[in-house]
């Protein structure tokens, strides 16, 4: 591709994955990402300190970067937006509303969530509960002009979330969109192998509702290091995504009309250094693969 990737996508980074705490101090991580001109957007986890939220806002305004908020650490920590117990679901909704207020304080243009756990016997009831939570959150976020986006996760490998696979995610998104236009889906290349789907199938199935992309890697061999939803670096042993797979992902997005120079989508890298790896080296690895995959894409 002759044009740079920045023409068609706002390149971002999922901060809490690249620089997991407490190994990396939040303040140092944010400063490093703000200095990196490869990125136009940073995705932040909940920040409980009001002073830290204000500092983050000043930093990224100075850097001329966009900010998104990810609720993943809180939801994976036990806040279940599709809890069958109504009191528990209502508490989850309230917590996500509070975090949306906090995200507005640090300048977020949107918040990203995922669904909670499920079983085959309770799936339909869980979907009804999730719909309540998500529509309420969308209506709350609308006052700030913020999007609410749901990342599609695996349903039977690692996180075992209610949403996906892709057809279920699309059906759910259609229900939400009928009430709330500020809702969309996040498609993550690293999740497609563990939802047993190809980019061609998943992107086409969810096409009307996709508003955001993540790219990364996965290991699909049980018993191997980083198996499941661990977001290892490209080239990690036994992993399944590399330059060819990323090139194909770009090709699918091009063919499905997601190369939109006038209003580019966010595309964030989501990679995590393993315990013996340095985050800066993993980041450089990811940029090399992105540049090579992009160069291999035909105009």
**What does the pLDDT look like over 90-124, one tens digit per residue?**
999 999 999 999 999 999 999 999 999 999 999 99
High-pLDDT (> 70) share of the chain, %: 100
Write the Ramachandran bin of 11: left for phi over 0, alpha for psi from -120 to 50, otherwise beta.
Answer: beta
pLDDT of 55 higher than 90? yes
In the prediction, which pLDDT does 80 show? 98
Compute the average pLDDT of residues 237-263: 97
In the prediction, which pLDDT does 19 show? 98
- Is the peptide bond preceding residue 164 cis, with omega within 30 degrees of 0? yes
Of 104, 78, 72, 93, nearest in space to 268 by CA: 72
In the prediction, which pLDDT does 299 show? 78
Around Cβ 117, how many Cβ atoms within 10 Å? Answer: 15
In the prediction, which pLDDT does 298 show? 87
Better pLDDT: 121 or 299 = 121
In the prediction, which pLDDT does 144 show? 97
Number of domain units in the chain: 1
User: Is the pTM above the cut of 0.75?
Assistant: yes
pLDDT of 71 higher than 90? yes
Of 212, 258, 294, nearest in space to 43 by CA: 212
**What does the pLDDT look like over 157-197, one tens digit per residue?**
999 999 999 999 999 999 999 999 999 999 999 999 999 99
Domain that holds residue 189: 5-296
Specify the long-range contacts of residues 205-209, CB closer than 8 Å, at least 24 apart.
Answer: 205/166, 205/167, 205/169, 205/170, 206/152, 206/166, 206/169, 206/170, 206/173, 207/256, 208/170, 208/173, 208/174, 209/169, 209/170, 209/173, 209/174, 209/177, 209/183, 209/184, 209/185
Around Cβ 278, how many Cβ atoms within 10 Å? Answer: 9
Mean pLDDT of all residues belonging to the chain: 97
Kindly state the tokens that stand for 54.
């204000």
Q: Rounded distance, CA 226 to CA 236, Å?
A: 9
What residue has token string 């985050």? 279
The domain that contains 228 carries what CATH number?
Answer: 3.20.20.150
């Amino acid at each position: 591709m002759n044009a740079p990737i920045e023409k068609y996508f706002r390149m971002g980074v999922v901060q809490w994955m690249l620089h997991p705490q407490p190994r990396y101090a939040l303040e140092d991580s944010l400063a490093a990402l703000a200095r990196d001109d490869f990125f136009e957007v940073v995705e932040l986890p909940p920040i409980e300190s009001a002073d830290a939220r204000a500092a983050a806002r000043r930093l990224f305004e100075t850097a001329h970067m966009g900010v998104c908020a990810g609720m993943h650490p809180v939801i994976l920590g036990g806040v279940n937006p599709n809890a069958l117990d109504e009191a528990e679901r209502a508490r989850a909704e309230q917590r996500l509303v509070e975090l949306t207020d906090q995200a507005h304080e640090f300048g977020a243009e949107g918040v990203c969530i995922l669904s909670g756990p499920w079983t085959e016997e309770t799936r339909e009831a869980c979907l009804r509960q999730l719909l309540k939570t998500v529509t309420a959150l969308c209506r709350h976020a609308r006052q700030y002009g913020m999007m609410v986006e749901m990342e599609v996760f695996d349903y039977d490998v690692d996180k075992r979330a209610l949403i996906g696979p892709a057809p279920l995610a699309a059906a759910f998104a259609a229900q939400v969109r009928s009430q709330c236009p500020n809702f969309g889906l996040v498609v993550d290349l690293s999740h497609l192998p563990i939802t047993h789907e190809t980019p061609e199938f998943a992107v086409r199935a969810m096409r009307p509702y996709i508003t955001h992309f993540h790219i990364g890697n996965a290991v699909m061999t049980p018993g191997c290091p980083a198996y499941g939803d661990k977001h290892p670096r490209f080239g990690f042993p036994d992993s399944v995504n590399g330059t060819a797979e990323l090139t194909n992902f770009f090709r699918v997005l091009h063919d499905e009309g997601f190369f939109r120079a006038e209003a580019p989508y966010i595309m964030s890298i989501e990679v995590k250094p393993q315990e013996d790896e340095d985050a800066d080296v993993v980041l450089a690895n990811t940029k090399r693969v992105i540049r090579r995959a992009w160069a291999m894409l035909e105009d």
